[in-house]
Amino acid sequence: MHPFTWLALWLWYSVSALFVPLPILVGWCMVPVVMMMMWAAARWRIKIVMAFMIPMGIGLWLVHSHWLQSLFSHSDNVSFAVPMFAIVLWLRLFVFFAAAQLWLQKVPTQQFVAALFSSRLPVGMAYLCAGPLLLKEQLKQQLAAIKEAQSARGVSFDGSLVQRLKTIVPLLSPLLMQSLNDLTTRSSALDARAFRRYPHRTVLKPISEYRWEPFLRVVLLCCLLVEGGAFWLYHSISIG
């Protein structure tokens, strides 16, 4: 499918987590995790999800359980209970992040950048959206080149996490300086190619899609509007 279709599916699934009740939300969280476990190529992303969400859960527990407040105020009524809204917030963030990991695994960066440039978006907006992704790939290539050069000089990148951090952190400064120096080169290249000179552009290799995919994207966006309107109406009636 087209990268924009996968993006619309991720957006619908993540935003819908704001409207479902807690019992359904628990199952809503498990769907991306089960899909990553069943998909062999995406299993390594489960570690990323856990490494991000577990500290966030601990932080929400420390903030909203009032345990720190009870500890510093020397109160005898120490509470370890977490309010329900904090649990719901963590579950919603879990859905957002886990589904995003699935989307990242399914849609490579190069394919999404090609979809941006071959879309009907204005060329300036397409380049604005693709710029951070292009910079990420450029930084990855430059870091690999620097690591190769340092390895040839006898610098070891193996060992414990602390040792690897001591080796990699000094490389960040020349990496950032080289990226800033490339901005002038990139700007000159865009000017030489008459960037934004013409309102329309020719696409050599457009991203193919099925005929029903634009309809599906519209349906998903309409579903979000309907879900949001129904959620707002229900709470307005409940409060009233």
Give 100-121 pLDDT, tens digit per residue: 999 989 988 888 888 887 887 7
**CA dist., res. 149 & res. 131, Å (int):** 27
The whole-number pLDDT of residue 65 equals 72
Pull the structure tokens for residue 102: 């699935």
- Token pair 């700007």: residue: 187
State the average pLDDT over residues 169-176.
Answer: 72
**CA dist., res. 144 & res. 178, Å (int):** 14
Q: Does residue 22 surpass a pLDDT of 70?
A: yes
- Token pair 């359980």: residue: 65
Phi, psi dihedrals of residue 9, rounded to the nearest 5°? -65, -45
Going by pLDDT thresholds of 50, 70 and 90, the confidence category of residue 167 is confident
Residue type, 220: L
What contacts 179, CB < 8 A, 6 or more positions away?
A: 135, 138, 139, 142
Pull the structure tokens for residue 156: 């070891």
Burial of 213 (0-12, 13-18, 19+ CB in 10 A): middle
Say if residues 82 and 61 touch (Cβ distance below 8 Å).
Answer: yes
